[in-house]
Structure 1
Amino acid sequence: MNVSPNIAEVAKLVSEPSRAAILTALLDDRFYTASELAGFAGVKQQTASFHLAKLADADMVICQKQGRHHYYRLKDAETARALESLLLVAPPADIRSFRQSAEAKAIRKARTCYDHLAGALGVKLAEQLVHLDFLQENEEAFTVTDKGASCFKQLGIDLEEVKRKRRSFCHRCLDWSERRYHLAGALGAALLDGFIRMGWIERRPLSRAVTITPKGEKELERVFHISIEKN
């Protein structure tokens, strides 16, 4: 008797285009209403609610009720990692409008991968952290050097508190658009939170793309020697 997890059931859920669009939208680790997710998927709210119920039954999303509204988010980082791995082998989406082209370009430049930075910026950051000897890299993860610990402390990141979180500390995550690694795990999430708190990066509404502020451009250059392309 086969007692292995039923991969076919998960594949069936993800293979439906509207559900795939909803799951991709949820990869930025924020809560969205069924109405907002319907807009992402290009379907009616009733259809989105049906898909979200299916995903909730499969334990892929969680639902939180607040007042009259229901808000949905991916279950956890492991679910996000599994979905991101599928993006590595997925063919590029068809671009049919200027708006889609601009969004695709923004997502490739700088975005969230669940709760950490990805895209060209995320990869550049990981590479510079290694180059500056803030991190050391092995086949699966990064380790923080003494020099890195000092830098993260100056950025207001308590490494001992980050290490106590019940998750990977700082593993490598293969970036689907850059095909190189960015920094994930609890440390990657702490860095993203810190950049947002310090006003270096701003989240965009209804998008996984993030905006690098003028202050962020200066500070990323000063601290990590990362120059930001203007286009």
Structure 2
Amino acid sequence: MADVVRGAVPSPNIWNSPQVYEVENRAVDPDGLIEATMRRLHPWAGANVLDLGCGTGFHLPLFAREATRVVGVEPHSGLAAAARRRVAHLTNVTVRDGAAQALPLPDASVDVVHARWAYFFGPGCEPGLAELARVLRRGGTAFLIDNDATRSTFGGWFRRWLPDYNPGKVERFWARHGFTREPLLIRWLFERRADLAAVLRIEFPAELAEAFLAEHPGLEVDYAINLWHRNY
């Protein structure tokens, strides 16, 4: 069994099924809307970038093409090892074991932080926010990507799974902490129906996954997200 950094918040989808999560990563946002929005708000050419909760390192090569230095931080040792293998040929990328609440980085050493569906889900993540404030340089930007449960097909699925989830409470939390919401409507686009089925089965309880699959034909799912961002 892989080691996990103390204090890490479990991510059952990728921790238990990294190969299926890889399929999901390939399906997310084929139009590049997230990347384009981030570039508009804070380009990373020549910057030091932190990919927080980097998993198997799927996004590290993207940042490495333009950034001066990229660090991936991941609390799950097995995933971190996979990320290291993925970027072994990239001389400007390092992967470190660590958690959002205790980043293994010096003060004021990062220009851009990217955290996608990793740890920062609203109330309770204050220790991680304190660490962002510590490691980001003045003028740096944190990007935190989370689900928008108020709209889209995926948002409807999310509400059926977690009916007590309160989007308004989450939005008020981020506003209090100085973040701005950029609402985006992206999509999943799969190559095969079996891939969609496999991803639904790692993201939702079995009964709901089968219901969603039966209700939704095709290979594409509209998916609303919030890109939270703050300049430090």
Shared fold (TM-score, shorter chain, > 0.5): no
Between Structure 1 and Structure 2, the one with more helix by share is 1
After TM superposition, the score normalised by the length of structure 1 is 0.30
After TM superposition, the score normalised by the length of structure 2 is 0.29
Q: Which structure exhibits the higher relative contact order, with contacts defined as CA atoms closer than 8 Å and separated by 6 or more residues? A: 2
- The structure that has the greater radius of gyration is 1
